Structure 1
């Protein structure tokens, strides 16, 4: 249904009369929109029968505006509600209530349904209603929710309640305890896990030479060791490719020039096992998904990038995705969530620029043949609420997304742990870190989360250097 309406809107046409009686189902269970008669008409449809008035937007009923694209989106929202509840829509008759409040009894019946936030956005008053392009992206993401696709390839915290949803429910909190401290102070690093060993590096350290080393945390023994092999580059992304420790991009130690090198640890040596990236990238975001590795944004010397490239392990090739970031970004982090790709970070080359968060489907990233354009396409991305703190950290492998720490525009750090609330498009504080800091590193393990390093005072180069942390804490979900 949504794709049919998108076709109309893309061609500057309005259906003007969407309701349950105009949706036909084929023998192959495909929905087809019928009764589209007047392509040029935006006048109110005076022939709408009483039982179909419920599908009309409030502005159309009040005749405060001609029928419009947002009116079609509202009608789709009511249709989606009918599909989700399998019940004809019967809102509360009270003109003092909002549309969401009028339909609340039916909305309460589908709590947990991945379509619920989509429906709520469709019922919003103008101008908060989404465009049909954004709506189709949201539906595509909802199709990959746990209620519709149970994919073992998507990473989640195992053997414990899921972190994001558990914190969002208000029934759980995080209990923190100390671990063995880092061998050196470290901030802005990234980490990965291979065979229960946590590898951390790629960040900034007060001791400059430490930036070229990776440190290993052995969870069972609660101890840290340093890899003997020194990296020839720093500021790259540490990642697990095919159960091998790999570093993507960064800046070369000799020239201080961004690099596209992809190095893999083998026999305690860094070798070129996989193909190099197409573009040099310093501090990009990267993650592995199935047999793909996705790298987004970063900085190529003085140019902040908006490109995304995908490594396919099966053919050892990098491909530039036809889906671009909605804006050039660096010092960013990314995660996956039930078929969605979520990215957050800085918009410009300036360290304290706007911090944005965006979501699209993994299909948009991994299957460029589905894209209709080779340039940036905002309709492929949904803009989440701006993250209220700079230099916050996305916790990997959480649903809904979780961010921790950061600092405000006065460089005051926070201990906030925030979860994204999709229904009202805000980041809400649900718990706290054991200390106020920014640029910490977060790792999700089998049944816990680990924070390592960070900065407590991000005000001057001197305070950054002197307050860079060696602290390592482990957090476990416990009932309130």
Structure 2
């Protein structure tokens, strides 16, 4: 029992730590958010503003804390992949005006961004916009279907948070209310005025789920137009009579509705219905979900997106939440054991429940969920790969590569892993393109693209191979080939590069494809340091970026980590493999407003400890796998670092099953990776080629008890 009479003991966390600065992540009217660490997980913590409880009287202070704890209790009951995951509360010491006072702090999962920030920073592709608003509608449907129903009352872009894979989650339920028959009235809603329905501004407003439906229309306008939908004044002067005339809610937002064009135009009827003045005339969120799903499917079909790709991370987030909850339950059992020992003054070990027996709450899995699972149906649930000593990687050997291979490049789309361009002792192997089906655990061969040493990427939902050498002549090329899945042939769907490039670094970010460096001369290979970029949603031409690479380089795989473009391990202009690492904010590369010669934007990081190491794509913090040590002996180490100034000099968190170097790594979800090929002896190129392997292994994180 906490000091204020709430039975929240089971929600209290122990072992939560924070840095001295308590860096602020966000701020609202009632509190601020800062990072904390719990069970070696970086989490977000929300605390009450101290000014709300200092010098306000005992009654007001207790009521403020009571309301905050009520939010915690409510959040603890919610489990949905599109609602922020509550982890618990903790009580740091705080010196108030009346003496020592402990204020509760809410701990939640850490998110990468808010919808407001994403819209402000990036030009978002249409398919991601559809995915975001659909996620929000699913989260609202869950809240409205809760028993009893929950109304958010302050739905705005500031309260929509996003994972690194742009899965949207509803947060900040501080002003949410439970609907029951005895409570249909309320005081004026403290919300974001531009997204609030007219009934919430009445003197004695009634509330219900239509409030959130109205606000959701504003979310749609904000997301698709990428600007804040500020309504005009509620009255205007008639041009003839010069008398004030009341405007409808639709008229107040008409200019934003008119901007819904292209594929978003199909959402106009739904938005108009959601903005009805009369709450009874608005559709239910269930109807809204169905309408958005239909429009989203149309968009994905037109652009060639697989439903597996679009829905995959929904399942991943749900499993991630289950694992987090299990971690919390285990930690609580341990805390209870410690409390029992201290209270009874005994050295005996009292165990109220074995943490080995704790299991996540069983959830029924639908046929649709089974189809979208990234692993075989009989595989255990995925665990998040976390930088923690509490986790190890459990390896499963999969079907071998068709040929031994190293220095290969991979692209992932849902349950498919595409491999191209690798070196092999089998000469013909480098000309081939292969696809691995994770569920079927089998390899298939695709038609050759006509150029090898090119980089496979998924661009706009399509398998594309960029650059390389022409198979027929061995001449370097600027070709960009795209697989037509219907005819199973390669076409020129996207424009060719400006420059010929073999083995460049390639990465995609939202609607951009970034191609950097590579070799560009057939007689005497010259290593490039320039960068080209394509906005595939515009399907125009490649353009040169004014910011060059820090040094000429080739044969590397860049990645995006925490909104930064990260490079580690590359070949330089004298054909030596380097351990240097560099980082630059991705916006500085994708922005069109750069100035020439802005090389200072690259930040040199502490050199990696290994050569030819692989990065887990989009890992944050960066996670490196394998590589050669100083003696050119392959290592099995898997490392991460939460220091932004270094890459793999951090903690070793796991190991490969055996040492290997120049392996290809594919992240098939947030929870599992596939490691393909590599070599086991790297003192010479001949030995590397000779010791290349066909091994393919799946890594899943497993909790160590």
Tell me the TM-score normalised to structure 1 length.
0.66
Q: Which entry has the higher C-alpha Rg, 1 or 2?
A: 2
Q: Mapping of 1:55-454 within 5 angstroms?
A: 81=21, 84=24, 112=42, 145-146=112-113, 150-151=161-162, 154=165, 158-159=316-317, 167-227=386-446, 229-266=447-484, 267-301=487-521, 302-316=525-539, 317-346=541-570, 348-369=572-593, 371=594, 373-378=595-600, 380-422=601-643, 425=646, 427=648, 428=650, 429-446=652-669, 447-454=671-678
Offset, 1:337: 2.2
* Bigger RCO of structures 1 and 2 (CA < 8 A, at least 6 apart): 1
Partner of 1:99: none
Offset, 1:255: 3.2
Indicate the SS of the match to 1:368: coil
Deviation beyond 6 Å, 4+ runs, structure 1: 106-111, 162-165
Instruction: Give the 3 Å change call, closer, same or farther, for CA 434–368 of structure 1 in structure 2.
Output: same
CA contact (8 A) 2:383 2:702 kept: no
Question: Alpha-carbon deviations, 1:147-199, whole Å to 9, x = none?
Answer: 77644674797345599995423221111111111111111111112342111
Instruction: Give the 3 Å change call, closer, same or farther, for CA 325–289 of structure 1 in structure 2.
Output: same
CA contact (8 A) 1:263 1:270 kept: yes
Query: Number of residues paired by the alignment?
Result: 349
Distance 1:165 1:381 in 2: 31
Question: Alpha-carbon deviations, 1:30-51, whole Å to 9, x = none?
Answer: xxxxxxxxxxxxxxxxxxxxxx
Instruction: Give the 3 Å change call, closer, same or farther, for CA 165–269 of structure 1 in structure 2.
Output: closer
Distance 1:420 1:275 in 2: 38
Offset, 1:425: 3.4
Offset, 1:264: 0.8
Indicate the SS of the match to 2:689: helix
Normalized per residue, which structure has more strand?
1
Distance 2:505 2:408 in 1: 12
Indicate the SS of the match to 1:169: coil
Instruction: Give the 3 Å change call, closer, same or farther, for CA 457–108 of structure 1 in structure 2.
Output: same
Distance 1:462 1:256 in 2: 21
CA contact (8 A) 1:165 1:399 kept: no
Offset, 1:453: 0.6
CA contact (8 A) 2:452 2:469 kept: yes
Tell me the TM-score normalised to structure 2 length.
0.46
Offset, 1:434: 0.9
Partner of 1:75: none
Offset, 1:396: 0.7
Distance 2:389 2:519 in 1: 39
Distance 1:85 1:200 in 2: 39
Distance 1:278 1:164 in 2: 42
Distance 1:272 1:436 in 2: 40
Distance 1:197 1:412 in 2: 32
Distance 2:627 2:400 in 1: 21
Unaligned runs of 5+ in 2: 1-19, 27-33, 45-110, 119-160, 168-312, 325-381
